């Protein structure tokens, strides 16, 4: 048997042997990722048999199986890697578990559960013959106009890095060679979410210093967590498209951070250099740029193949440069055991895993923890004994598409908006009805209005329903058409007739509970001021309605905390908490300085008291790890979970640094009346600044350490620390 086909030698040895047998066409083929739904079946087969494509995306189940069989029959039999956007669950496959969106689960601040969700997604995608998910998104969600905020873990680089590392661990499992492990893909490298005006895939005006301070840290954490692949974003940074940036891909990602997996471009990034961004005159020039910059796999630019072969044959690109890319791709294929029968046989046995009871249980637990209680005036929630009849009103009360959000079979790869979900789902209405029936409460329903179309409304009808009930639950927000790639919004107010509907409902004089079902924070100060209680659910997936109902009726005590801040007005953006101190720069004359709701904020049905903040050392050096301790007491009437957050401020630094930055957190369950001392490590080397020369330096001096329940000053205890 040829060496590379023998499973005993190491992946490295097998790569060397296989590479030595490959023609230049076979090598370039390994760099190709073909989009299955952009080619005919015959073309797809040709890509396997004649041009040796290394990867496909969006081919599922039997289609993937068929192509894999074909690849085995080729001269070298190199298996294909199949990739999918399993973004919140393996949700492009109807019947699989649909988790809440990434933004939603980030509000759980629960790494353990997020890792479990990653595991579930991996098992279900792997059972479908897939090897790779283009997840997680590590973009820092700061301009809320951007259409892809729903895909982020929120606005803070540290929280993003911690949660990303957890889900990567979940996807990749104990070993890549396990039959239920899939490759993670940290994306979109780099600063994609920071594009000017929140306009998707546009230019980003950030310096390398800022990149190192704010946007690179989550990617560093992902690399350290062993993330196998990284996707280069669509955007340009200060005029250079990321896919054409040797500095970002080779110098920083591969050489400096030591990333040893492979880099895939985003969708047709190579073509975009010619047709959209116009930094290349033709495909040969674009191909040269992306190879030289350090991209290892080319997503959906099929013309790259001919250009790359030509560039090598003409001596313009050295073959050694292609070898470097192909080695990375093959190394992952060997590490995953794709050449070995064992993985294939085991995968075939896993068909029963889709939304199985164990997976549904993980989904329910994470959904419960992801919902954030934003308002609860006079303890309007949980609903009390006096309630006999509830009116559930609003365009998102019974809309599973709005609740699922982006990246499910409703929207990708070819949108199927009329599909009926195969696995059980609970809209808000369904969840409230099920629990209400159990306790003998009647539920009335009216849609009230449409999200987008101002002509589709029956506010009078909705009011008639409201008038018959003891309490109104208004379910409002946004819809699929307002979230996702290229769906940036200039206006974050409630669209359609939703605001009018709310105002009329308020005028009815009934207690008003608002449930927000939305991709991302909207500008809803009226809701904050006027609703008796507000639950933020974002895109809560299949079980959102069940979990929200459990919270409404007090079966579950909410514990979610916002991972992203809410503005008073679109013109107030950006409102992220970790602002820079400035002269007059902090505030508009016609807006408050603070956001409506700040990062880290979220209420509980119980109350917590923080006391006795102590540091194990108040004077330390850069190599120390100190302990930050605080006493936390549950002072309310029921058990609850609280997320204790540590923020740091460098009081005087040689460059302007944020007024506070999250550096640690811990979510703990605490029984009523109980006090726990919470002990959290703080690594002093994490208190670095980035200098104008792009150096990382911990500057001696005073720091303020802040600990509490949110990023707002009023919620934080403070202590002083000196770094020598
Ligand atoms: C483009 C998106 O930007 C990226 O996030 C996604 O993974 C790819 N398309 C593949 O669908």
- 340 and 443 belong to one structural domain: no
Q: Is the pLDDT confidence value at 417 over 90?
A: no
Specify the 3-state DSSP secondary structure of 535.
strand
Whether 586 is covered by a domain: the verdict is no
Residue 348 has what pLDDT? 61
Q: Which pLDDT belongs to residue 347?
A: 62
Determine the distance separating the centroid of ligand 1 and the alpha carbon of 237, expressed in angstroms.
19
Q: Is 610 in the pocket of ligand 1 (CB under 6 A)?
A: no
Is any atom of ligand 1 closer than 6 Å to the C-beta of 200?
no
Nearest Cα residue to 309 out of 574, 63, 22: 22
Is there a domain that residue 357 lies in?
Answer: no
Cα 187 to middle of ligand 1, angstroms: 9
| pLDDT over 70, % of the chain | 98
At 345, is the pLDDT very low, low, confident or very high (cuts 50, 70, 90)? low
The DSSP symbol for 5 reads: G
Q: Where among 513, 546, 572 does a domain terminate?
A: 572
The closest residue, in CA terms, to atom 7 on ligand 1 is: 134
Residues 26 and 91 in one domain: yes
Read off the pLDDT of residues 494-505 as tens digits, 9 standing for 90 and up: 999 999 999 999
Distance 297 CA to ligand 1 centre (A): 14
Pocket flag, ligand 1, residue 109 (CB < 6 Å): no
Q: In what order do the strands lie in the sheet with 240-241?
A: 203-204, 236-237, 240-241
Half-sphere exposure of 329 (CA within 13 A, CB side): 30
pLDDT tens digits for range 296-335: 999 999 999 999 999 999 999 999 999 999 999 999 999 9
In short, whether 406's Cβ falls inside 6 Å of ligand 1 is no
Using the predicted structure, report yes or no on whether residue 337 has a pLDDT greater than 80.
yes
Asked if the model's pLDDT at residue 540 lies above 70, the reply is yes
What would the pLDDT profile of 657-695 be if each residue is shown by its tens digit?
999 999 999 999 999 999 999 999 999 999 999 999 999
CA-to-CA dists, residue 399 to 417, 444, 660, angstroms: 12, 16, 39
Same domain, 655 and 507: no
At 23-56, the pLDDT tens digits run 999 999 999 999 999 999 999 999 999 999 999 9
Predicted structure pTM score? 0.98
Active site residue 266: yes
Helical spans, DSSP H, in 439-475: 459-467
Mutation test residue for ligand 1: of 102, 135, 231, 407, the one with most atoms within 8 Å of CB: 231
Answer whether 267 contacts ligand 1 (Cβ < 6 A): yes
pLDDT band at 617 (very low <50, low <70, confident <90, very high): very high
Q: What is the atom index within ligand 1 of the atom nearest the CA of 233?
A: 3
Mean pLDDT for all residues in the chain: 96
* Domain assignment of residue 595, yes or no: no
**CATH code, domain carrying 545:** 3.40.50.1700
Q: Which residues of 450-477 are buried (b: 16+ CB within 10 A; e: fewer)?
A: bbeeeeebebeebbebbeebbbbbbbbb
Atom of ligand 1 nearest to the CA of 137: 5
Whether the ω angle into residue 190 lies within 30 degrees of 0, i.e. cis, is yes
Domain for residue 566, yes or no? yes
In 3D, which of 325, 482, 336 has the Cα closest to residue 405? 482
| Beta strand 689-690 pairing with 696-697 | antiparallel
Same domain, 314 and 382: no
Rounded CA-CA distance 348/128 in Å is 8
Q: From ligand 1's centre to the CA of 223, what distance in Å?
A: 20
Q: Residues 109-143: pLDDT tens digits?
A: 999 999 999 999 999 999 988 999 999 999 999 99
Structural domain that includes position 634: 608-723
Residue 698's pLDDT is what? 98
Q: Rounded to an integer, what is the distance from CA 315 to the centroid of its chain?
A: 42
| DSSP secondary structure letter of residue 580 | P
Instruction: Specify the 3-state DSSP secondary structure of 446.
Output: strand
Residue 499: which residues within 8 A CB-CB, separation 6 or more? 493, 526
| Cα-to-centroid distance, 267 and ligand 1 (Å) | 6
Which amino acid residue places its CA nearest to atom 4 of ligand 1? Answer: 266
Question: For the residues 415-422, what does the mean pLDDT come to?
Answer: 90
Is there an atom of ligand 1 within 6 Å of 266 CB? yes
Q: How many Å apart are CA 687 and CA 440, to the nearest integer?
A: 55
Task: Answer yes or no: is the C-beta of 134 below 6 A from any ligand 1 atom.
Answer: yes
Q: What is the pLDDT of residue 151?
A: 98
Residue 493 falls inside a structural domain: yes
Last residue of one domain, picked from the residues 572, 600, 625 = 572
Note whether residue 326 is domain-resident.
Answer: yes
Q: Are residues 476 and 615 in the same domain?
A: no
- Whether 218 and 81 share a structural domain: yes
* 3-class state of residue 202 by DSSP: coil
Helix (H, G, I), strand (E, B) or coil at 653: coil
Atom of ligand 1 nearest to the CA of 412: 11
Determine, yes or no, domain membership for 306.
yes
Domain count, the chain: 3
Whether 648 shows a pLDDT value over 60: the answer reads yes
85 CA to centre of ligand 1 in angstroms: 7
Same domain, 171 and 74: yes
Could you read off the pLDDT of 81-94 as tens digits, one per residue?
A: 999 999 999 999 99
Q: Are 567 and 388 in contact (CB under 8 A)?
A: no
In a domain, 596, yes or no: no
Query: Is 694 in the same domain as 643?
Result: yes
Question: What pLDDT does 550 receive?
Answer: 98
Same domain, 708 and 627: yes
Q: Looking at the structure, tell me whether residues 345 and 386 fall in a common domain.
A: no
For ligand 1, pick from 59, 85, 182 the residue to mutate: most ligand atoms within 8 Å of CB.
85
The protein residue with its alpha carbon nearest to ligand 1, atom 9, reads 267
Shortest-distance atom of ligand 1 to CA 151: 5
What single-letter DSSP state applies at residue 397? T
Give the C-alpha separation, 598 to 227, whole Å: 30
The verdict on the CB of residue 235 being under 6 Å from ligand 1 is no
- Final residue belonging to a domain, choices 350, 382, 409: 350
CA of 154 to the centre of ligand 1 (A): 19
Same domain (yes/no): 321, 442: no
What are 351-399's pLDDT values in tens digits? 689 999 999 999 999 999 999 999 999 999 999 889 999 999 999 999 9
pLDDT reported for residue 1? 54
CB 59 within 8 Å of CB 41: no
- Mean pLDDT on 169-179: 96
Task: Answer yes or no: is pLDDT of 271 > 70.
Answer: yes
CA of 389 to the centre of ligand 1 (A): 45
Compute CA distances 500 → 454, 531, 551, whole Å. Answer: 11, 14, 27
CA distances from 182 to 82, 118, 134, 165, 609 (A): 10, 10, 10, 14, 42
Judge if 341 and 420 occupy the same domain: no
Give the distance (Å) from ligand 1 centre to CA of residue 69.
26
Q: What is the pLDDT of residue 583?
A: 78
Q: Does the beta carbon of 650 sit less than 6 angstroms from any atom of ligand 1?
A: no
Residue 215 sits in a domain whose CATH number is: 3.20.20.300
Selected catalytic residue, list 180, 266, 478, 650: 266
Helices (H) and strands (E) in the chain, counts: 22, 27
pLDDT band per the 50, 70, 90 thresholds, residue 61:
confident
Mean pLDDT of the region 285-296 = 98
Instruction: Write out the H or E segment, with its range, that includes residue 633.
Output: strand 625-634
φ, ψ (nearest 5 deg) of residue 510: -80, 150
DSSP-based three-state secondary structure for 623 = coil
Residue of 267, 271, 415 to test ligand 1 pocket, by largest number of atoms within 8 Å of CB: 267
CATH classification of the domain holding 615: 2.60.40.10
* 459, 412 contact by CB (below 8 A): no
């Amino acid at each position: 048997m040829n060496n590379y086909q023998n499973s005993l030698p190491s992946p490295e040895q097998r790569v060397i042997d296989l590479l030595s047998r490959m023609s230049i066409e076979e090598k370039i083929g390994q760099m190709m990722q073909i989009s299955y739904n952009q080619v005919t079946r015959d073309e797809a087969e040709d890509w396997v048999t004649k041009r040796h494509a290394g990867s496909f995306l969006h081919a599922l189940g039997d289609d993937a199986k068929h192509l894999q069989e074909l690849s085995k029959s080729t001269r070298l039999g190199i298996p294909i890697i199949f990739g999918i956007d399993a973004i919140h669950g393996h949700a492009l496959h109807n019947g699989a578990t649909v988790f809440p969106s990434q933004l939603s689960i980030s509000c759980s601040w629960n790494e353990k559960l997020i890792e479990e969700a990653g595991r579930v997604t991996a098992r279900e995608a792997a059972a479908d013959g897939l090897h790779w998910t283009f997840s997680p998104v590590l973009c820092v969600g700061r301009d809320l106009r951007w259409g892809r905020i729903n895909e982020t873990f929120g606005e803070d680089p540290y929280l993003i890095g911690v949660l990303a590392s957890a889900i990567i661990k979940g996807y990749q499992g104990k070993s890549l060679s396990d039959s239920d492990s899939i490759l993670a893909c940290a994306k979109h490298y780099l600063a994609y979410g920071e594009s000017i005006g929140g306009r998707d895939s546009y230019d980003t005006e950030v310096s390398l210093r800022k990149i190192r301070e704010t946007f690179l840290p989550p990617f560093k954490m992902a690399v350290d967590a062993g993330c196998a692949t990284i996707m280069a974003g669509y955007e340009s940074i200060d005029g250079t498209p990321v896919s054409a940036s040797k500095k970002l891909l080779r110098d920083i990602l591969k050489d400096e951070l030591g990333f040893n997996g492979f880099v895939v471009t985003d969708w047709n990034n190579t073509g975009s250099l010619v047709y959209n961004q116009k930094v290349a005159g033709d495909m040969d020039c674009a191909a040269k740029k992306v190879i030289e910059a350090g991209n290892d796999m080319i997503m959906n630019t099929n013309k790259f193949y001919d250009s790359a072969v030509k560039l090598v044959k003409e001596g313009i690109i050295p073959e050694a440069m292609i070898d470097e890319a192909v080695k990375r791709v093959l190394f992952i294929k060997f590490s995953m055991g794709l050449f070995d029968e064992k993985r294939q046989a085991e995968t075939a046995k896993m068909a029963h895993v889709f939304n199985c009871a164990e997976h549904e249980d993980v989904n329910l637990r994470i959904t419960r923890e992801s919902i954030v209680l934003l308002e609860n005036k006079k303890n309007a929630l949980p609903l009390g004994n006096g309630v006999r009849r509830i009116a559930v009103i609003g365009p998102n009360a019974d809309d599973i598409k709005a609740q699922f959000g982006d990246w499910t079979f409703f929207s990708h790869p070819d949108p199927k908006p009329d599909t009926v979900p195969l696995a059980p789902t609970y809209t808000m209405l369904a969840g409230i009805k099920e629990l209400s029936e159990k306790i003998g409460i009647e539920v009335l329903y009216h849609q009230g209005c449409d999200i987008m179309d101002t002509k589709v409304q029956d506010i009078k009808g909705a009011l008639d329903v409201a008038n018959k009930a003891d309490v109104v639950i208004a379910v409002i927000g946004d819809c699929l058409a307002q979230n996702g790639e290229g769906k940036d919004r200039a206006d974050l107010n409630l669209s359609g007739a939703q605001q009018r509907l709310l105002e009329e409902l308020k005028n009815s004089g009934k207690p008003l509970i608002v449930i927000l079902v939305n991709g991302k924070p909207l500008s809803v100060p009226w809701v904050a001021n006027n609703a008796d209680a507000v639950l933020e659910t974002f895109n809560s997936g299949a079980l959102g309605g069940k979990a929200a109902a459990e919270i409404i009726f007090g079966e579950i005590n909410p514990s979610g905390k916002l991972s992203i801040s809410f503005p008073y007005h679109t013109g107030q953006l950006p409102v992220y908490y970790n602002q820079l101190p400035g002269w007059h720069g902090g505030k508009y004359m016609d807006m408050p300085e603070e956001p409506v709701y700040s990062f880290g904020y979220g209420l509980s049905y119980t109350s917590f008291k923080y006391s006795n903040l102590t540091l194990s050392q108040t004077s330390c050096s850069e190599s120390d790890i100190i302990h930050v301790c605080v006493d936390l007491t549950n002072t309310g009437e029921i058990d609850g979970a609280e997320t204790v957050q540590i923020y740091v401020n460098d009081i005087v630094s040689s460059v302007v640094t944020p007024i506070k930055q999250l550096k640690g957190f811990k979510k703990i369950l605490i029984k009523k009346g109980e006090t726990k001392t919470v002990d959290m490590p703080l690594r002093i080397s994490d208190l670095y600044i980035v200098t104008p020369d792009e150096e990382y330096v911990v500057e001696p001096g005073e720091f303020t350490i802040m600990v509490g329940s949110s990023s707002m000053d009023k919620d934080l205890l403070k202590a002083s620390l000196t770094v020598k």
